[in-house]
Amino acid sequence: MELSPTFREMEAFIRRLQDQICNGLEAFEPIQRFQQDIWEREQGGGGWTRILTGGKTFGKAGVNISSIHGEMTKELASQLEVEEGLFGACGLSLVIHPNSPKVPTIHMNVRYFETNEGRSWFGGGTDLTPYYPYPKDFKEFHQTLQRACNSVIPSSYEQYKETCDQYFTIRHRAEMRGVGGIFFDYLTGTEPKHADLVRAVGESFLPAYAPIVERRKDESFDAVDTIFQKIRRGRYVEFNLIYDRGTLFGLRSGGRIESIFMSLPPEVEFHYNWQPESGSAQEKMLSYYQPYDWING
């Protein structure tokens, strides 16, 4: 299968974006740096996995890009609701797990997919998983995403925000894994505005996240804060292993297991019937794991 010019442009963009984001995150680390692992996929293509562990600010940070192609499995074709055949897929996926419970976990993904049948589409999004109730941070995060989306497609943020709230819900617990963000999928690959949207979202990552890290990374915290962080990281694991499309796509497309599971946090705790203390910051934070109008609220 001959990969399209759109595919090659997306491939070049995610390579640049990976450099930009890794450099931005390393600015918070006095010593630790991202280590790169280049891998090849037997069926076609490969990727560049960059991981930072044991940092002063980030306990585990992964910024991965992949560009794969080849024959689609029957299982993958069924998941994507397309005919079996040849495909190409490329994208960037990142998950950042900070050490401090005052700094949120964050996820972002931008991707492009095409088939030899002529179908193509963009997808992506980003969402924030905080462990301490700082509504100012959450509002600013959403405002940055709103500007990025609406600058390309007017009034699109509202739709993508609602889709994100629905998608990142842990359905068996009837709660969101965080405070949402934006999410979109199956945006026609032949529409230039969709490529522009993906670029705008990718380039909004550091403006949306770095100010929060800078503001909160040196704040003090206690054992209760840390326990709550690990419990909510457990919820993160539940979502990724049960519902996440990216995880399922990676497994069904013969992806690299180490890169797929880099999204999982380094330490989690599962407590039986854990409940927060009445009036605590943790009780307040739990109230935010539901759809909320962060722009006007």
**CA dihedral sign, ordered 17, 18, 19, 21:** positive
Distance CA 46, CA 40 (A): 4
Catalytic residue among 97, 107, 142, 194: 107
Distance CA 84, CA 264 (A): 31
**Long-range contacts formed by 12-20: CB under 8 A, 24+ apart:** 13/198, 13/199, 13/202, 14/65, 14/90, 14/91, 14/92, 14/110, 14/202, 15/48, 15/65, 17/65, 17/92, 17/110, 17/202, 17/203, 18/48, 18/50, 18/63, 18/65, 18/92, 20/203, 20/206
Residue 92, helix vs strand vs coil = strand
Distance CA 235, CA 69 (A): 32
Angle between helices 192-203 and 5-26 (to 10 degrees): 10
Helix H or strand E encompassing 103: none
Residues in Cβ contact with 3 at an 8 Å cutoff, skipping those fewer than 6 apart = 69, 88, 114
Q: Is 97 a catalytic residue?
A: no
Catalytic center residues: 107
